[in-house]
Structure 1
Amino acid sequence: MDEPTFYRYLLWGSLVVAALIFPALFFITAPYGRHEAKSWGPTVDNRTGWLLMESPSVLVFFACFYVGGCPTDPASLAFLFLWQLHYVHRAYIFPFRIKSGPKRMPIAIAGAGFAFTSLNAYLNGRWLFGLAGPDRYAAAWLSDPRFFLGAAIFLAGFAINQQADWILLHLRKPGETGYKIPRGGFYRWVSCPNYFGEIIEWIGFAICTWSLPGLAFALWTIANLLPRALSHHRWYREKFPDYPTERKALVPGLL
């Protein structure tokens, strides 16, 4: 089996799995963070789990860039920059900023995350830096409206995601523990603006690459984060009697 055929099987298989997992996640909440549970087997500390889950997104994507000949055309460099802008922070900065205390993550969850990010980085990186072909993203692509629109949406989502993380990271004063109601920024409208921002990012990436693997990643992001946002929203409302009633879970004014 040649690589393009293998690649197509992986890509369509990932879409099928996303369609199956999406409804299941409305009933099963991944047991890490505030939903921590001890029934999922051996655990690792949160930081180690995050590093394990997110590092392939940086390393595998860059490996695809390298295997593709380290292309220096503007479109390839722009795609590399946007992807790594998100994932270098998520893999190597965010885990050391979280004030998670003694929280643990099941190895099964970290392992599943590792498998997904490895596959996803391969599908997107191999397409952008090889299988799409040398003429798919010529220099003129940077003047294409799809690139401008998608990149702008991506950067807007990144800004929302970063602001939400900053609010969470500064929610507690030194020495404080426990959970509080986050306020400010997009928390005025939704319980999970960090998830909202991330979904916007990868929709933007799908638009600016105009690719099936980009679309698959956006759909995977929605399939994973929408049910988790609803779980977070229920958790907030159950834990805090004074939780703002006007807030939605994920999308301002809608959901």
Structure 2
Amino acid sequence: MVMSVLLSLMFPPPPFLLVSGLTVISFLILVSSFLAEIRGKHLNYSKFWNANPSAQNQIKLPSKAGMLLLYTPAFLAGLASFWIFPPQSVRSTILQSAVTLHFFKRVFEVEFIHKYSGGMTLESAIPISLSYFLSAATMTYSQHLTNGLPEPAMNLLYPGTVIFVIGITGNFYHHHLLSNLRGKGEKEYKIPKGGFFEFVICPHYLFEIIVFYGIFFISQTFYAFSFAIGTNLYLLGRSYSTRKWYLSKFEDFPKNVKAVIPFLF
């Protein structure tokens, strides 16, 4: 029953081993990253940049340079997709625009919104950057392969567009709140306040999850579905670790504030 509902929501998978392989590989990598976060083996960026002992011996990047490395290739992949796969439908145009806009927003935030402390290891930056780049490229390519195919039984394009806009707006707003926590020259961490920070410690992750479900609804491809589920799992793990970190650093951290899902997790 569940499978039949899912199939009604998606285009048939493309008969290309490369796309199917990337779908499986990206999902397994994200699941593996989720399990690693839960076990305390973090990707070394943000507040966890030196959480693992081995990070001390790795090449360290300044936070801003590392973040640009994460998002710029994916943004360029989205931008290039308009030339490589000229949009042939409203759906493909919206999908390519959403992917490009999401990663452009991240580059914009790196340049003009975020305030930095710590750093990022090159060993963590490279796989994250590669994952985002491949996701942007494969997302747009998978959409290109649906041109000319019958539409799914249930059209989620326009609800997906609304969900995407909610997600990207909420993500940007909470990144802005995080940036405002620190005055000029300050690098120490504080307990975030305002917006959904009153309910969860990682509302920016919550809205990023919403972004990728919006992209799945827009796309309705198996790759977009698997990437949304995988990203959801990874960010659940990362937010769980983040809440543990805040609990260990701040005695006055409010216990009713969850990790990423208000009132639940």
TM-score by length of 1: 0.88
What's the C-alpha RMSD, in Å, of the aligned pairs? 2.1
Question: Deviation at 1:223?
Answer: 2.6
Other-structure match for 2:21: 9
CA contact (8 A) 2:114 2:175 kept: no
Question: Deviation at 1:222?
Answer: 1.5
Question: Deviation at 1:20?
Answer: 3.4
Question: Deviation at 1:117?
Answer: 1.3
- Runs of 4+ deviating beyond 6 Å: none
Q: Within 5 A, what are the aligned runs for 1:1-150?
A: 4-27=16-39, 28-37=41-50, 39-40=54-55, 41-68=58-85, 70-71=86-87, 73-101=89-117, 103-128=118-143, 130-135=144-149, 145-150=155-160
**Residues 125 and 136 of structure 1: is their aligned pair in 2 closer, same or farther, counting only changes over 3 Å?**
farther
Q: Within 5 A, what are the aligned runs for 1:153-192?
A: 153-192=163-202
| Aligned-partner Cα distance in 2 for 1:248–1:235 | 13
- Of all paired residues, the percent bearing the same amino acid is 27
| Aligned-partner Cα distance in 2 for 1:89–1:63 | 16
| Aligned-partner Cα distance in 1 for 2:187–2:21 | 47
Question: Deviation at 1:135?
Answer: 4.1
Amino acid at match of 1:13: I
Amino acid at match of 2:136: A
CA contact (8 A) 1:160 1:186 kept: no
Gaps in structure 2 of 5+ consecutive residues: 1-14
Which structure ranks higher in relative contact order (CA pairs < 8 Å, sequence separation ≥ 6)? 2
Secondary structure at the counterpart of residue 124 of structure 1: helix
| Aligned-partner Cα distance in 2 for 1:153–1:109 | 30
**Residues 16 and 237 of structure 1: is their aligned pair in 2 closer, same or farther, counting only changes over 3 Å?**
closer
CA contact (8 A) 2:200 2:258 kept: yes
Question: Deviation at 1:155?
Answer: 1.4
Gaps in structure 1 of 5+ consecutive residues: none
CA contact (8 A) 1:25 1:227 kept: yes
